[in-house]
A = this chain, B = another copy of it.
């Protein structure tokens, strides 16, 4: 699975844009965008949607990548992570279709 950062960098380079160009539009330093692309920092949700606009990437796809990384970050190193994910999934499905 390609990481969110990889998707962003790939696309930025394909469009011939420099960190300088894109980070200016995001209103942050190039250092942060560099780190986001290499997975050293997490982007904010707002940055992700802006990046989708700037780089003409499908917003939903990018958001799904981003959110799933956020989820995985929460359960990193947890032996019970997979089971927690399954419980979360059941809970959300139950809540969405029924009740609450």
Contact = CB atoms under 8 A, between A and B. Distances in A.
Q: What secondary structure prevails in chain A residues at the interface with B?
A: helix
Nearest to A89: B85
A54 interface: no
Interface residues of A, number: 29
In the complex this chain forms, how many copies of it are found? 2
Contact of A91 (B72, B86, B89, B92): B72
A89 B87 contact: no
14 contacts: A1-B87, A1-B90, A63-B78, A67-B75, A67-B80, A67-B84, A68-B88, A68-B91, A71-B75, A75-B92, A81-B92, A85-B88, A85-B89, A85-B92
Interface of A: 1, 60, 63-65, 67-68, 70-72, 74-75, 78, 80-94, 96
